[in-house]
Structures are given as C-alpha cells and as structure tokens.
A and B are shown apart, each in its own frame.
Chain A
Amino acid sequence: MTTTNSFQAIIDKLCHASQREYQNPYTTIEWPVGFDKSEWFMSPELLSLYGTETYAKLSDEQRTKLSFYEAVNFFSLNINGEKALTAGLAQRLYKKGNAAINAYLHHFLDEENKHMIYFGGFCMRYAKKTYPDKKMVLPHTYAPGEEDFLFFAKVMIFEELVDAHNLFMAKDERLAPVVRTINRLHHRDETRHLVFGRQLVKELFVTHSPGWSDEVMRNVRSYLAAYLQATWKEYYNPEVYNDAGLAMPYKLQQQAFHSDHAMDHRRRIAQNCVRFLLENNMLTEAPRA
C-alpha cells in the first residue's frame, strides 16, 4: 500500500514513541501474593450487572467477588482479541505492498504480545484460567482490499471499547493497584495503536471502497455493525455470573444485556468509535447498542 506523507510522518512518530517507551513485561509489574476480599478489580460502574435489580441486591462481598471474575473476563477477552490481532498482524508483516507500515507492525506485535503477558499473568495467577473465545471466523471470499479493511476496522473497534475501560480503570483508586497498573500500561500503548489504526482504516477505505459493488459495501457496513454488537456480547458472560456464585447465569446475561442502563452504557462507551465510522462513511447509521 502507498501512504500519504502525513501518514508516513505519523508512523515515524509512533515508532519513535514505541522505542522510547519500550518495556520488559517481566519486570514491569509487581504481582501481589493475594488479595483481600474487600478489594475491587473492575470499577463498579463498568460491571455488566451494574444498574440491574440483581446488582442492587448483592452484598458488598458479592459485588467485589463479581468484580474479580468480571476483570478476569475483561482480561480474557483482551487476550482472545489480541491472539487474533497478532495472528493477523504477523500475516501482514512484510507482505508485498506493506513496506511503509512494516516498522510499526513490529512494535504493534511486540506490544500486543506484552499485553497478553500482563493479562495472562493476572488470569493464570489468581483465577487459574482464562475464559474462552466465543467468536468464530468462517471462510469468506473478499473483494479487493475488503479483508485488510475489515481486519483493521475490527481491531480499531475492539481497541476503542477496551481503551475506554482502560482509561477509566487506570485512574480508579478503588481498584487493586496491580489492576490499575495493567490498565494503565495497556492504555499507554493503545493510544498509539488507536492513532495508527484510525489513520490506516481511513486510508484503506478511501483506497479500496470506490471499487466495491453496492452489495459489498452493504455487507461491509452490516458486518461492522454486527461486529460491534458481538464484541459487546462478550462483556456479558454467564460463566462469570456462575463463578461469582450467582443463580440463573443465562437469564442474568439476557437481563443485563437488554437493560436500559446497559444500552446507555454501551452507547456512551462506543460513541467516539461510532462517530468516526459515521464521519468517514464506513457506517451510514449508528448501530443498535
């Protein structure tokens, strides 16, 4: 792919920043031996059940226990998303036509691998597991440029949602310090990935979409809207409710996902990302929250 001068300048700047902030993931975090039952691991306002009748009836201890498993779920969905992301980035590294972005793809891969070390370190130390991925990729025939565009657009959507959570939790002093640190470290790298992602997604769309048929364009738009909703679904995990000792986890999942509070919450968190997609004509209407 060819890049504009302004995008090349952004790539150079991002590469320098990544080199400057390069870290050893094995020495960056001090892992506590254990936690107190009263500690929070995910901000209460970000819990999937927050604002529901069920949440209102929980004791403080039940709420902090729920916050532990919700944090394990949040970190797991990051690991699952980053596994797919690193596989896709590795496929594109040194691919013909990608010379302009190779240098940054190296940093992107390196930093995503470090994030998985942080997230996996927490999950495996304290929960002894991660929650499995429920997304599936099925074989599909793509129009020219469509696969690359969708790959980076999905990365951007996923990272925008995650980053809004990271930013909030990095500053939340109610949370266990190690959780704040993981969120802070992730946010620090993600700000660069988001700048790169937005610019690249725009360039790919401008380059390739004029050659797409109306049907391809319609499918791309509906896929992006469906991806946003599918990504949100994974924040409402019945296994989390079960592990937190809550009854009827599948019913809770339905109630929580469809609650007015949850829909407002999702709209708020996703608003910047949706605005970007609308302003750049990648979507023509805001998707269902």
Chain B
Amino acid sequence: MKQASEIRQTIRAWVEQTSGKLQPGELQDTTPILEQRIVSSLQIIDMILMLEALAERPIDVADLKPGAFKDIETICQTFMGGPSR
C-alpha cells in the first residue's frame, strides 16, 4: 500500500481531474467537494473504485456514515485511517 501522503496526493489529483473545472490551487483538503458539486453523486462510484484500489480492500457503501465523502480530509480519515500529510 502507498504512503499516506502519496495517497492524499492521489485522491486530490483524482478530484481535480474528475471535476475538470478547478483552478490550480483552488482545491483545499477541507473544500466541500459534494456540496460545491465538484464531484457528483454518480462519480462517487469511480471514487470508491479508486479508494478500493488504494486501500487494496472493498468498501461497503452501506457501512458508511453520512458525510464520508465531504472533503479530502474526511475521505483520508475514513478510508485510509489517518490525517497524515
């Protein structure tokens, strides 16, 4: 499995690429990516697949708490087990 900082960077790059409408430096780790419609509900499927590949284990959406995909910080804490940068 990749290092925590590398994982965070991969997630950030994925969000930037998926959105296609962010200016460089605009995306912060606490930017609300769903609320601001940077990522859509249907793109969450791709995000889950990307997170599963990073974590090397399946994710059961039914087990997730509301807000699990709120921002990059929350995603890292929820799926990768920590806030390391």
Which of B42, B49, B52, B56 contacts A226 (CB under 8 A)? B42
A233 at interface by CB-CB < 8 Å? yes
Closest Cβ–Cβ distance, residue B6 to chain A (whole Å):
16
A223 at interface by CB-CB < 8 Å? yes
Interface size of B by CB at 8 A reads 19
Q: What are the residues of chain B within 8 A of A234 when measuring CB–CB?
A: 45
A137 at interface by CB-CB < 8 Å? yes
- Decide if B45 touches A233 in the complex (CB within 8 Å): yes
- Decide if B58 touches A238 in the complex (CB within 8 Å): yes
Q: What are the residues of chain A within 8 A of B44 when measuring CB–CB?
A: 134-136
B13 at interface by CB-CB < 8 Å? no
Closest Cβ–Cβ distance, residue B1 to chain A (whole Å):
12
- Decide if A135 touches B49 in the complex (CB within 8 Å): no
- Decide if B42 touches A223 in the complex (CB within 8 Å): yes
A61 at interface by CB-CB < 8 Å? no
Contacts A132-B61, A134-B61, A239-B58; A253 near B49 (Cβ below 8 A): yes
Interface size of A by CB at 8 A reads 20
Closest Cβ–Cβ distance, residue B21 to chain A (whole Å):
12
Q: What are the residues of chain B within 8 A of A136 when measuring CB–CB?
A: 41, 44, 61, 69
- Decide if B62 touches A250 in the complex (CB within 8 Å): no
Closest Cβ–Cβ distance, residue B66 to chain A (whole Å):
10
Closest Cβ–Cβ distance, residue B74 to chain A (whole Å):
14
- Decide if A230 touches B42 in the complex (CB within 8 Å): yes
- Decide if B45 touches A132 in the complex (CB within 8 Å): no
Closest Cβ–Cβ distance, residue A49 to chain B (whole Å):
16
Q: What are the residues of chain A within 8 A of B34 when measuring CB–CB?
A: 138
A227 at interface by CB-CB < 8 Å? yes
Q: What are the residues of chain A within 8 A of B61 when measuring CB–CB?
A: 132-136
- Decide if B58 touches A227 in the complex (CB within 8 Å): no
Roughly how many angstroms separate A133 CA and B40 CA in the complex, as a whole number? 17
Q: What are the residues of chain A within 8 A of B58 when measuring CB–CB?
A: 132, 238-239
- Decide if B49 touches A233 in the complex (CB within 8 Å): yes
| Per-residue contact bits, chain B 11-22, to A (CB 8 Å; 1 contact, 0 not) | 000000000000
| Per-residue contact bits, chain A 140-160, to B (CB 8 Å; 1 contact, 0 not) | 100000000000000000000
Q: What are the residues of chain B within 8 A of A238 when measuring CB–CB?
A: 49, 52-53, 58
Contacts A133-B61, A138-B34, A238-B58; A227 near B42 (Cβ below 8 A): yes
Roughly how many angstroms separate A233 CA and B48 CA in the complex, as a whole number? 11
| Per-residue contact bits, chain A 226-265, to B (CB 8 Å; 1 contact, 0 not) | 1101100110001100000000001101000000000000
- Decide if A233 touches B46 in the complex (CB within 8 Å): yes
Roughly how many angstroms separate A134 CA and B58 CA in the complex, as a whole number? 10
A-B contacts besides A135-B41, A223-B42, 5 pairs, CB < 8 Å: A132-B61, A135-B61, A136-B41, A227-B42, A253-B49
5 closest residue pairs by CB, A with B: A250-B53, A226-B42, A138-B41, A230-B42, A132-B60
Pairs A–B under 8 Å by Cβ, sample size 18: A132-B60, A133-B61, A134-B48, A134-B61, A135-B44, A135-B61, A223-B40, A223-B42, A226-B42, A230-B43, A230-B46, A233-B49, A238-B52, A238-B58, A239-B58, A250-B49, A250-B56, A253-B53
Binding site for B on A (CB under 8 A): 132-138, 140, 223, 226-227, 229-230, 233-234, 238-239, 250-251, 253
